[in-house]
Amino acid sequence: MTTETPETRPASATYADADFAQDSHRAGTLREAARDYLNRVRGGDMGSLPALLGLLVLFVIFGLTTDSFFTNLNLANLTVQAAPICVLAMALVPVLLIGEIDLSAGVASGTGAAITALAIVDHGQPWPVAVVAGIACGAVIGLAIGAMVARLGIPSFVVTLSFFLALQGVMLRLIGQGGSVRFNHEVLRGLAIKNVPVTLGWICAVAIVAAYAALALFTYRRQVARDLARPPFGLVVLRIAVLAVVVLGLTAYFNVNRSRNPFFPIEGVPYMVPVVVVILLLMTFLLSRTAFGRHLYAVGGNREAARRAGINVLYMRIMAFVLCSSLAAVAGILQAAYSGKVSPGSGGGNVLLYAVGAAVIGGTSLFGGRGRAIDGVIGGVVLATVDNGLPLLIDKSYANYLVTGGVLLLAASVDAISRRRRSATGV
């Protein structure tokens, strides 16, 4: 029995697994677009649909069985709780796209946060300099991992497992056994405990909707002018409407006072939310609108075909790890802002497993060549919902692990089955 790898994968499977395969589809009407989408789902191209359906089921279960799940205060806490894992899951997407794995991403996030905290506390650096130092630390880690994987040919599993162990030693050396560094800078800590002013929140929400609408309509008009493949106009309008409902609805929801003390109002969108949104937009643009992103998909779909097409495969593999570790450092900073401290165990434990699980649950394939940045966000929200709502329903620690493990196994099974169906149908 042979194992399929990016180098040996058939050319037909490459197109089936590539996210840009849909460029060849051109639906004239909204009904035809819906029919085309259903055909792709039947063929195994389900994307984030299982995760979205699962999230809906979780919301219904927790909403019906607990009284406190749908309170403004709890949902605001859920978004702050989900932010670091969403960013770390997005960090893993580029590595998963090329068919590799990074087991050190969680500990790399803790190391980046430790460098940031120490730069502020011990060296008195301004917070922007400290954040840049933490991200630079992540980039150096990613560069070292990528060079060993791409240039020396060492399996990514072995290299990143080694860094997983080594970086924990670095954390112990920097902070000390049983010690911790306070992460209480007003700006950075404020990402977790402060909210966007109500008026500014509305302005940003309207600006986001308006910018997306303008970009979508401009793109559609350009596609029509050049007679390129494009979705029906009704679908473009529907996407704008859905985004407007989601963004404006969440803004209105979070702008309601959720404080239990009438003398100290708590209202506004948590600062963590716009941070995640900005990172999501940047990652989405990078992966879907640049040559770098398309090359990542090409390398993950068929490495040898990408090399013959003139893509610098070595460079792309290294940069995937650099991007992963750099973004992991950002996730570590957000987690430190949430917890208020950095300790030698930051980023360890189940952090990495949750991040990989979030990316896979959201729709990113473990086999490479398929995934989006938003997959990490959707999967991260699913896991955060389980972590937030399950204790309200069952006050047992083991239940959280059992349910989370079951959700991850189900997501991996769906990914494997979908991949088989795509290969069989050529979708």
Is 227 inside a domain boundary? no
Is 243 inside a domain boundary? no
Q: Which helix (H) or strand (E) holds 219?
A: helix 198-225
CATH number at residue 300: 1.10.3470
**What does the pLDDT look like over 87-118, one tens digit per residue?**
999 999 999 999 999 999 999 999 999 999 99
Span 266-290, average pLDDT: 93
pLDDT at 393: 78
Residue 21 has pLDDT above 70, yes or no: no
Is 221 inside a domain boundary? no
pLDDT at 132: 96
Percent of the chain with pLDDT over 90: 54
Is 155 inside a domain boundary? yes
**What does the pLDDT look like over 24-83, one tens digit per residue?**
445 467 777 778 878 777 776 777 778 888 888 888 888 888 888 888 888 899 999 999
Is 22 inside a domain boundary? yes
Rounded alpha-carbon distances, angstroms, from residue 393 to 108, 129, 390, 397: 33, 43, 5, 11
Tokens of 133: 């130092």
3-state helix, strand, coil in the chain (%, to 5): 75, 0, 25
Q: Please state, rounded to an integer, the average pLDDT across all residues of the chain.
A: 86
Domain count, the chain: 1
**What does the pLDDT look like over 294-307, one tens digit per residue?**
999 999 989 999 99
278 residue type, one letter = V
Cα(351)–Cα(234) distance, integer angstroms: 41
With cut-offs at 50, 70 and 90, classify the pLDDT of residue 164. Answer: very high
294 residue type, one letter = R
Residue 180 has pLDDT above 50, yes or no: yes
86 residue type, one letter = C
233-268 core/surface letters (b: 16 or more CB in 10 A; e: else): eebbeeebeeebeebeebbeebbeebeeeeeeebbb
pLDDT at 426: 56
With cut-offs at 50, 70 and 90, classify the pLDDT of residue 351. Answer: confident
pLDDT at 92: 95
**Which structural domain, as residue segments, surrounds residue 329?**
11-194+270-425
Is 70 inside a domain boundary? yes
Is 4 inside a domain boundary? no
The pTM (predicted TM-score) of the whole model is 0.87
Percent of the chain with pLDDT over 70: 89
Residue 278 has pLDDT above 50, yes or no: yes
With cut-offs at 50, 70 and 90, classify the pLDDT of residue 415. Answer: low
Is 261 inside a domain boundary? no
